[in-house]
């Protein structure tokens, strides 16, 4: 994918800018990179859309200056700044995992700029599956180089997963992932429910039937109710854009085709 690097306040964001047409913003979560969407983005481009696929700040190839934070409230501000730089006034947002926290904060702040929201295996209120990353938050800095191989074993041995985690190999990559994990803060989405409910933004919730981190009944269903959105279960685990890209792409294209 052709990549673009843009300086923002306290950061430089790297992203893919693909195709032309109405824009769709694809957001990954933790511990992913924009490679999460490698099999989805081309299908959306073929569908006639401009697809913006960034690495969140502090993840993948995007970087932050010393003292900046990779929390999702900061990500939301940076992402709006990126869209401003690209002169994109309104967009559909498709977000996975904790990237959906940034997306929900974007909707809460500027609902008039969001044509539609799709959440895949995302977060709801304070339910961020933080127990699943507690060991990463507590990881010793001296052993940061061991983190990526351990994650690769935990999350699966597929070529796609190894490619996605490659950005965190070595000591420097491991330190970035530890920092990103420690910056995650579920309190940031605990008090925006009323804003989301009142936003009027059309939404869709997609979930892997076998997601072992964020449960359908305790996270997906209440999130769909909050967003007044259909809930569609997909044949995959937590990383649905990698597990079932054809089904994810079809759902996104169908949803966008139905927007006003």
Q: Tens digit of pLDDT for each residue in 31-73?
A: 999 999 999 999 999 999 999 999 999 999 999 998 899 999 9
Give percent of the chain above pLDDT 90.
Answer: 93
Residue 102 banded pLDDT, cuts 50, 70, 90: very high
Q: Which pLDDT value is given to residue 66?
A: 85
- Record the pTM: 0.97
Residue 233 banded pLDDT, cuts 50, 70, 90: very high
Q: Which of 1-10, 98-107, 196-205 has the lowest mean pLDDT?
A: 1-10
Domains and CATH numbers, the chain: 3-128+187-257 (3.40.50.1820)
User: Region 67-92: what's the mean pLDDT?
Assistant: 96
pLDDT of 2 over the 80 cut? no
Q: Which pLDDT value is given to residue 17?
A: 97
Give percent of the chain above pLDDT 70.
Answer: 99
Q: Which pLDDT value is given to residue 190?
A: 97
Residue of 35, 24, 40, 31 lying closest to 244 (CA atoms): 40
User: Region 230-240: what's the mean pLDDT?
Assistant: 97
**Average pLDDT across the chain, whole number:** 96
User: Region 207-231: what's the mean pLDDT?
Assistant: 98
Residue of 79, 109, 77 lying closest to 94 (CA atoms): 79
- Does residue 105 contact residue 32 with C-beta atoms inside 8 Å? no
pLDDT of 133 over the 80 cut? yes
pLDDT of 157 over the 80 cut? no
Residue 161 banded pLDDT, cuts 50, 70, 90: very high
Q: At a CB cut-off of 8 Å and minimum separation 6, what does 225 contact? A: none
pLDDT of 248 over the 80 cut? yes
The region, left, alpha or beta by phi > 0 then psi within -120 to 50, assigned to residue 57 is beta
Q: Tens digit of pLDDT for each residue in 165-195?
A: 999 999 999 999 999 999 999 999 999 999 9
- Does residue 25 contact residue 91 with C-beta atoms inside 8 Å? yes
Three-class SS state of 227: helix
User: Region 99-108: what's the mean pLDDT?
Assistant: 98
* Cα Rg, the chain, nearest whole Å: 17
Residue 124's beta-bridge partner residues?
Answer: 127
């Amino acid at each position: 994918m052709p990549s673009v690097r843009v300086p923002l306040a306290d950061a430089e964001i790297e992203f893919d800018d693909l195709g032309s047409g109405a824009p769709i913003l694809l957001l990954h979560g933790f511990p992913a990179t924009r490679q999460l969407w490698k099999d989805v983005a081309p299908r959306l481009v073929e569908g006639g859309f401009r697809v913006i696929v960034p690495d969140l700040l502090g993840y993948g190839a995007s970087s932050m200056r010393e003292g900046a934070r990779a929390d999702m409230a900061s990500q939301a501000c940076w992402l709006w700044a990126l869209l401003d730089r690209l002169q994109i006034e309104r967009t559909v947002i498709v977000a996975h995992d904790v990237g959906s926290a940034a997306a929900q904060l974007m909707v809460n702040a500027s609902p008039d700029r969001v044509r539609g929201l799709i959440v895949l295996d995302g977060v709801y209120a304070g339910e961020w599956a933080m127990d699943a990353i507690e060991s990463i938050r507590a990881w010793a800095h001296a052993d940061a180089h061991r983190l990526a191989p351990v994650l690769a074993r935990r999350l699966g041995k597929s070529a796609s997963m190894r490619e996605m985690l490659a950005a965190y190999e070595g000591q420097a990559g491991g330190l970035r992932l530890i920092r990103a994990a420690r910056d995650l803060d579920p309190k940031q989405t605990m008090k925006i429910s009323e804003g989301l409910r009142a936003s009027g933004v059309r939404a869709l919730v997609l979930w892997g039937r076998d997601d072992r981190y964020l449960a359908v009944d305790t996270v997906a269903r209440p999130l769909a109710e909050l967003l007044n959105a259909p809930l569609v279960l997909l044949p995959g685990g937590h990383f649905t854009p990698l597990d079932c890209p054809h089904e994810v792409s079809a759902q996104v294209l169908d949803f966008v085709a139905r927007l006003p």
